[in-house]
Amino acid sequence: MQARLIELATLVADSIEDASKAFNESDITLAERVIAGDRVIDGATATLDELAIDILARQQPVARDLRLVVSALRMSASLERMGDMAGHIAQLARYRFPEKVARKSLRPHFHELGELTVKMARQLVRLLETNNLSIAAEIQQEDDKVDALREAVLERMLGEKWKGEPMDTVDATLASRYYERFADHAVKIAKRVEYLSDGEWVRPQDEPEV
């Protein structure tokens, strides 16, 4: 199940990388690839979920093993949503092609949002591979930067210098929201890995009786 999660997280990392490139450079081929690739991510998610449910049914895990399986179900849901967000970003790029989605004054922001979220997605893969909790902490730090950048995008659009058309405003509002949600899900997964390492999910007095 860990191998499947890593596989899925890798697909998601590739997807946000391609989506960001498509968005920043108005690359329609890449955008199409991301949009088509979302089906692969959805398929991998479904396979992972079936595996988890099969394990629950056949092996009837308890205690720590049960925590792992239920966590995997939740992580896969987050990874699936991250794939959706990458797809939405690619759709904006496709819709606006051959124009770029972001106006010049926002391009540095979106460039950085792309870099940060790709970094977070790659960190997530490494976190799932190694269970090294310092990576989980790094992911949460990157998320603060994503939130700040999103705020900066909104502030710029509300500032006096903003000359964007309504379509520019709509698209930048949505794109920054998608990046924010992508990063939120990365944090959610990182916290879950932390929780699995540290925490007690089934409290001692609740340990199964069988």
Q: Under the rule (CB under 8 A), what is the footprint of a copy of itself?
A: 53-54, 56-58, 60, 62-63, 66-67, 70, 73-74, 77, 154, 157-158, 162, 164, 166-167, 169-170, 173-174, 177, 201-202, 206-210
Smallest distance, Å, CB 54 to a copy of itself?
Answer: 6
| Residue 40 vs 53, nearer CB to a copy of itself | 53
Q: What is the dihedral of CA 101, 143, 152, 109, to 10 degrees?
A: -40
Burial class (CB in 10 A: 0-12, 13-18, 19+), 145: middle
| Residue 160 vs 198, nearer CB to a copy of itself | 160
| Residue 138 vs 194, nearer CB to a copy of itself | 194
Smallest distance, Å, CB 128 to a copy of itself?
Answer: 20
- Contact status, residue 139 vs residue 194, Cβ threshold 8 Å: no
Smallest distance, Å, CB 203 to a copy of itself?
Answer: 9
Alpha-carbon distance 16 to 65, whole Å? 31
Q: Rg for the chain (alpha carbons), in Å?
A: 19
| Residue 119 vs 150, nearer CB to a copy of itself | 150
Closest C-alpha to 48, from 22, 74, 25 = 74
